[in-house]
Amino acid sequence: MSRRLSAITLAMGILVGAMGLKTVVMSHAKGSVLVANGPAPTPTRPKPSTGRF
């Protein structure tokens, strides 16, 4: 039981760390998209306020 709780706690810790890192990085973003998949050309970032990409 304790090992299961440790696994869940570890996952939550990683999530908090990753989202914290994202918040720090994205707070200085100027609209560019962080790309991590493949060689295809990247379109501009979706417009968050319009409900459309």
Partner 1 sequence: MLGSATLVIWYLGTALELSVVVCSLARKSFLRYFFLNLYMLLSVLTSVGRWYLILSGFGVDTDQYRYLYFYTDALLTLALYVAVISLFADVLGELHFAKHLRLSAVVLLLGTAAFSYSVVAQSADRLSTDFAYQLSQNLYFVGLVLTYLLWGAVLKLRETRTRLVQFILSLGLYFSACAASYALKNFTNRYDDILKYVDPLLGCLLPLAWSLTIVRNTEETRLAPASLVVVPR
x/- mask, partner 1, residues 6-45, rule CB under 8 A, reads xxx-xxx-xx-xxx-xx--xx-xxx-x-xxxxxxxxxxxx
Is position 2 an interface residue for partner 1 (rule: CB under 8 A)?
no
**C-alpha–C-alpha distance, residues 46 and 31, integer Å:** 9
Nearest Cα to Cα of residue 33 among 20, 42, 21 = 42
Beta bridge mates, 52: 47
Residue numbers at the binding site for partner 1 (CB under 8 A): 3-4, 6-8, 10-12, 14-15, 17-19, 21-22, 25-26, 28-30, 32, 34-46, 48, 51-53
